[in-house]
Amino acid sequence: MPFLLPLLALLLLSAAPTVTEVVTSMSACNAYFLNQKPPQISGILEGGIILYQNRYKPICQTLNNKRTFVSLYDNTNKIPVFSAYKYPGKQEVPRQQKWKIEPQLEDETLNANMELEDKSKSYVHQADTRDYINTLGFEKGHLLPQSYGWDQNERRATFTLTNSVPQVNSFNTGSWSNVESCVKCVLDEYCMGNNDQTEGFVVIGARPGNNFLNNKVNIPSMLWSAFCCYSKSQGTWLAGAHWGDNIPDGGRVLQTKTLAQLHQELGGSSEAFPGTNCPLNTTVTHLYPPLSKFCKCPPPV
């Protein structure tokens, strides 16, 4: 009957599979930002507005009908500007290692089977795994680490080329890995709010460099990371930042900095958590000693 057709169409639409979503505004994915306010990246994302929308694409990273985190992707340099996540706590989940691409960046028609890259296609607007072949000294490095994911689906979702950048091997597995571990440790131990639920916000970004991997994918000159949360146990907001040059590691230690120091390093009007209660001029280094037995946080300067 005719009156049933609109209902049938609605039911079919609701049953359609959902994959990663390229959207038109950062506000479409604002659940992963503290107070629903995206970072301020000078010259790129200001006041929540993407300045060059043909180049910078907001992606609500989605897998199996579940949104997991958000990235702002630079389809010229073919690396993300940043990825952001609302950290919900920890549980033991097996590691995933199957990398994916984002079909929507290529203006392709999506279906449930296009999650993995098509080996027969050449991708114009993004990197793919072939760009990392024969790249001695570099590897695919996450911005949002897979270890931050709450469940298997969230960890699988981080293995997308729209969340990865070329990293020097020893940097990725050395000092930057220690930063990721330290931040996660602080989030787990101290970022429990008045509702007794773990909740913290992280933003991890990359500064483009002057060199390209296989003449296609920009090699970042520096990676940066910022976190913020309210801590019931400490009775205050906590925040901190780290950054490091994407160069051979040599056993270096990346010290914890303040948000204000990070903003100065990024330049212009950049802010990791604009318009929030995140402290700009304090760090969490005083909380590191009790964590020293099982965390990889840097020692005091």
Q: What CATH number corresponds to the domain at position 197?
A: 3.40.570.10
Per the domain annotation, does 44 fall within a domain?
A: yes
Per the domain annotation, does 134 fall within a domain?
A: yes
Per the domain annotation, does 301 fall within a domain?
A: no
Query: Under a CB-based contact definition with an 8 Å cutoff, are residues 9 and 177 in contact?
Result: no
Query: Tokens 């091997």 appear where?
Result: 169
pLDDT tens, position by position, 47-103: 999 999 999 999 999 888 899 999 999 999 999 999 999 999 877 666 666 778 777
Q: HSE-up of 90 (CA within 13 Å, CB side)?
A: 13
Per the domain annotation, does 298 fall within a domain?
A: no
Per the domain annotation, does 9 fall within a domain?
A: no
Per the domain annotation, does 4 fall within a domain?
A: no
Full residue range of the structural domain in which residue 102 is found: 15-113+123-291
Reply yes or no on whether the pLDDT at 230 is more than 90: yes
Per the domain annotation, does 45 fall within a domain?
A: yes
User: How many structural domains are present in the chain?
Assistant: 1
Query: Tokens 């787990």 appear where?
Result: 188
pLDDT of residue 259: 98
Question: In this predicted model, which residue has the larger pLDDT, 252 or 193?
Answer: 252
DSSP state of 175: H
b/e code 7-46 from CB counts within 10 Å (16+ = b): eeeeeeeeeeeebbbbeeebeebbebbbeebbbbbeebbb
pLDDT of residue 153: 86
Picking from 62-66, 176-180, 209-213, which range would have the lowest pLDDT averaged per residue? 62-66
pLDDT of residue 121: 61
Task: Please name the helix (run of DSSP H) or strand (run of DSSP E) that holds residue 157, with its range, or none.
Answer: helix 152-157
Per the domain annotation, does 299 fall within a domain?
A: no
pLDDT tens, position by position, 184-194: 999 999 999 88
